[in-house]
Amino acid sequence: MLDALRAERSISSKSVSYGIWYPALARVHVTTARGVHFANMGHSVARPTGNHADSELGQNESIKSPKRLELLPEEAMYLIERGALFCYKSMTNCHSDVPNIEETSPGAPMAVQQAYTEMIGREDMTLERYQVYAYLKRLGFVLTRAKPPTSDYPAAPSLFPRPATVPGMWKRITVLLSHFASNVLSVISFVLQRSPWKPVGLRGLKSSGDIFAAMRFLRCGHTAPLYESSATEGRTTQPEVSTMHRTPQSEQSPYSVFFHVYKPSTPFRKSAPPAPDFYVVVINARTTPTPSLYELSALFEALPEMPLPPPRKRGIQASGKKATNATAPTVPPLLHITTPISPPSFLQRLLSYFSLGSHATSTSPSTPQNPPSHRPNPFLHLKAGKKSVVVAAVDSGSISFFRFGEGAFDDWPML
C-alpha cells in the first residue's frame, strides 16, 4: 500500500482542463475544457469582463456579457481529486480577460488539500455532502443541486400537478342536475326492490369499501393532520425530548433534499435536466438523530408523486424460445379482436337503475362479454409508495443509504 501511495500520478496533457478559482464567487472558471466530464458538469454564466469589482458585476444590464463555463465547489473538487483539472487560485477579485494558462502559468496549481480547505464550507457544501457526491459520481450517477444556488443554474422541471381550473357556471349546473337525477333514480330503484340490504343502500353504501369507510372512526391517509400533544410542548423537566417532537416549521430541519440523482441510463441534458430518479438527503450520522414523523411529513410534502412501477412480465424468456423455434407464422387468436361498442342510449341508462334494466342489459346479445380483468398486485405498489426519498447517513466517511417511502394503504383495499 505504501508503494502505491508513493507512486507518482500522471495524466495525459490532452485530457487536462484548466480553471481559476474565485473565492469571492465560490466558483471555478473553466478556461480550457477537455474530456467527457463536462457533458453533465458545470453551467454557463454570463459574467462581465474587465476591471470591475465583484459587487458591481451584473448591475449594468445595457452591456451584453459573454458566457463562460463555471463549476460549483463539489464539481471542482471532484475533478481536482481525479487529476482532470488544474485549478489556480485568483489573487484578485477582478474578472479581467484571462490569458492562456497553459502558456503563461500563474504559479503552481492548487493541491487537493488546498482545494478542500478553500471549497469545503462554501455554497452549503459540507464534507459529508461532498463525500456522497464523489461516491455516487464514481459509480456513474449524475448529480445536480436540488435548490439552484443562482438563477443561471439549470433546474429540473417541477412535477407538481397544476391547479385545476374553475369550471363554468353552466358546467356546475349540469353536474348538480345530474347528481340530483341519479340520487332520485337510486332512491326509486331501492324503494321498488325487495331486499334486506335496502336500509344500507338508502344510506348511500353501495360496496364493502363504503361500509368500512362509514365504520371508520379514525381518519386515515396522509391528508389527515398530525396530532401534537400539548403536554409535550409544555415539558420543562426534559427539554431535550420536547425539542425532538416539535414540528419542522418551528426550526430548520436537517432533512431537506440537497441532490437530484439520475441513473447512468437516463438521458441527461445539462441545459435542461429531466425529472430526477432519486431525491437524496445528506446528514451527519454523528450529530443528526433519526427523523421524526413531523420531519418526514414535511419532507414528503415538498416532493412530487412518483409514477407507479410497471408490473412484472413473467414468462418472457419462455415465450421468446417458443417464438424462435417456431417456423410458421402464427395467426393471432380471435379473442383479441375487439369491436367498437356503441354508447348506451338514454333509455338503457334509465333502465339500468332498476332491476329490470340490469337484467335486460346483462342478457342483451348485442353487448360482448369481455374477459374478467386481473386486479393489479397491490404489494408492489405499496412497497414502492407514492413518494420516495433516499437519506444518505455519513458516519466518519462511511456512507449508508436508507430509503423512506410514503405508502398509500387506504388506496389499496384488500377486499
Q: What is the distance between the alpha carbons of residues 217 and 371, in angstroms, rounded to a whole number? A: 38
Residue 281, number of CB atoms within 10 A of its CB = 23
- Total number of residues shown for the chain: 415
Lowest-pLDDT choice from 13-17, 233-237, 380-384: 233-237
Cβ-based burial of 170 (10 A; exposed 0-12, middle 13-18, buried ≥19): exposed
**pLDDT per residue over 181-239, tens digit each?**
777 776 676 666 666 555 555 566 667 777 777 777 777 777 777 776 554 444 443 43
User: Pairing between strand 259-262 and 142-145?
Assistant: antiparallel
- Which of 61-75, 89-103, 210-224, 292-306 has the highest mean predicted lDDT (pLDDT)? 292-306
Give the confidence band of 310 by pLDDT, cuts at 50, 70, 90.
low
Domains of the chain plus CATH, in order, are: 15-47+64-123 (3.40.1170.20), 126-156+249-307+377-414 (3.40.1350.10)
Please answer whether residues 376 and 384 qualify as being in contact, where contact means their C-beta atoms are separated by less than 8 angstroms.
Answer: no
Please answer whether residues 139 and 263 qualify as being in contact, where contact means their C-beta atoms are separated by less than 8 angstroms.
Answer: no
Name the E strands within 7-99. Answer: 17-22, 27-32, 43-46, 67-71, 85-89
> How many Cα atoms are found within 13 Å in the side-chain-facing hemisphere of 288?
20
Taking the whole predicted model, whether its pTM rises above 0.85 is answered as no
What is the reported pLDDT for 156?
Answer: 83
Average pLDDT of the chain, as a whole number: 74
Name the E strands within 23-136. Answer: 27-32, 43-46, 67-71, 85-89
Distances (CA, A) of 101 to 32, 97, 283: 8, 11, 38
**pLDDT per residue over 32-84, tens digit each?**
999 889 999 999 998 876 554 444 444 444 567 788 999 999 999 999 999 99
Strands of 259-262's sheet, edge to edge? 142-145, 259-262, 278-284, 387-395, 398-406
Instruction: Examine the pLDDT at 242 and tell me if it is beyond 50.
Output: no
